[in-house]
Amino acid sequence: MKFGGTSVGSVESLLNVKRIVEAQQGSVIVVVSALGGVTNQLIEMTRLASAHDAGYEPLLAAVRQRHMDVIEQVVPAARQHQARQVVEQFVDGNLASFFSMLCLNADLDEPERRRLADTIVCHGEILSSAIVASMLDDAAPYYSPSFIKTRPDDAGKPVLDAALTERLIVQVLGSCGHERVVLQGFIAQDAVTGQATTLGRGGSDYTAALVAAALDADSLEIWTDVDGFYDSDPRRNADAVLIPEMTYAEAQRLCDAGAKVIYPPTIAPVASKGIAVWVKNTFHPQAPGTVIR
Ligand code: ASP
Ligand code: MG
């Protein structure tokens, strides 16, 4: 079950996530995006700090406060202290020092700056997954860069090492013995250097598909903020009609044509295993959604 940024972005939606996951019979792996808007904010703060503009500081304080507020309202009291410590470690510790390195250091070279930026952008999912793992009862947190591995392509852009990733997913999660696992979408690691990398913007769907495919999951559920795929954009066209069912090829065509419902690389891994993909609305969980198979 993958929950996108809006699904983990507010108290109301997080409480829906808790209900949806805890109602699930059998074992489930929960993959989360950063709280809605946080990835953009991390990128914006990186831009400011790189330009030696301390204007990132109030933004970082607001991001910190948002995570603390959510913890107070969704995490059971007994686990709040631990969840707050995660925010302290990753925001007050890591992020504050990475941004001040960028801001105060005039002679960082471009590769160093890029490495810091990549490390920073991964923190949105690290924080959201810690909150979701402590919100849910009996959930075991895992760190997806320990099995989602990339290698640089000829232009230096990270691309998935599919074979290594599949092997590591099976090794780490295949026999982990936990009924309920929570892990980060989007974030990855260079297979050789261990440097933080990502699967690209919107890549949490892809993480979930890779895990579902490697483990031969019964299904992949993409929980988002729309009821499913429509025949046209429902935000612009009031007569848009929900598509209840489609093939992998039809879904791939819609994604490639710019339907924002699913990140395009998501379809191939699950299609190759014949795993059904359900697109469901976290804000309207009883709606049937779209099934792709
Ligand atoms: N948080 C990342 C992004 O905003 C990944 C994702 O949400 O799928 O692109
Ligand atoms: Mg998305």
pLDDT tens track, the chain, 293 positions = 999 999 999 999 999 999 999 999 999 999 999 999 999 999 999 999 999 999 999 999 999 999 999 999 999 999 999 999 999 999 999 999 999 999 999 889 999 999 999 999 999 999 999 999 999 999 999 999 999 999 999 999 999 999 999 999 999 999 898 999 999 999 999 999 999 999 999 999 999 999 999 999 999 999 999 999 999 888 899 999 999 999 999 999 999 998 889 999 999 999 999 999 999 999 999 999 999 99
Distance of CA 205 from the midpoint of ligand 1 (Å): 9
In a domain, residue 113? The reply is: yes
Q: How do strand 158-160 and strand 28-32 relate by DSSP bridges?
A: unpaired
In a domain, residue 81? The reply is: yes
Per the structure block, which two tokens stand in for 87?
A: 């925010």
Whether residue 121 has its Cβ less than 6 Å from ligand 1:
no
Q: Number of folded domains in the chain? A: 1
Residue 126's CATH number: 3.40.1160.10
Q: How do strand 245-246 and strand 149-152 relate by DSSP bridges?
A: unpaired
Whether residue 186 has its Cβ less than 6 Å from ligand 1:
yes
In a domain, residue 78? The reply is: yes
How far is the C-alpha of 246 from the C-alpha of 200, rounded, in Å? 26
- Whole-number pLDDT of residue 260: 86
In a domain, residue 135? The reply is: yes
Residue range 9-35, pLDDT digits in tens: 999 999 999 999 999 999 999 999 999
Residue range 131-159, pLDDT digits in tens: 999 999 999 999 999 999 999 999 999 99
Distance of CA 187 from the midpoint of ligand 1 (Å): 9
- Whole-number pLDDT of residue 274: 98
In a domain, residue 203? The reply is: yes
In a domain, residue 35? The reply is: yes
Range of the domain at 29: 2-217
Which atom of ligand 1 is the closest one to the Cα of 201? 9
Separation of CA 264 from chain center? 15
pTM exceeds 0.95: yes
Distance of CA 186 from the midpoint of ligand 1 (Å): 6
Query: For a pocket test of ligand 1, which of 2, 6, 33, 42 has the largest count of ligand atoms closer than 8 A to its C-beta?
Result: 33
262, 265, 270, 273 alpha-carbon torsion, rounded to 10°: 160
Phi, psi of 267 (to 5 degrees): -70, -45
Whether residue 145 has its Cβ less than 6 Å from ligand 1:
no
How far is the C-alpha of 233 from the C-alpha of 30, rounded, in Å? 28
In a domain, residue 202? The reply is: yes
In a domain, residue 128? The reply is: yes
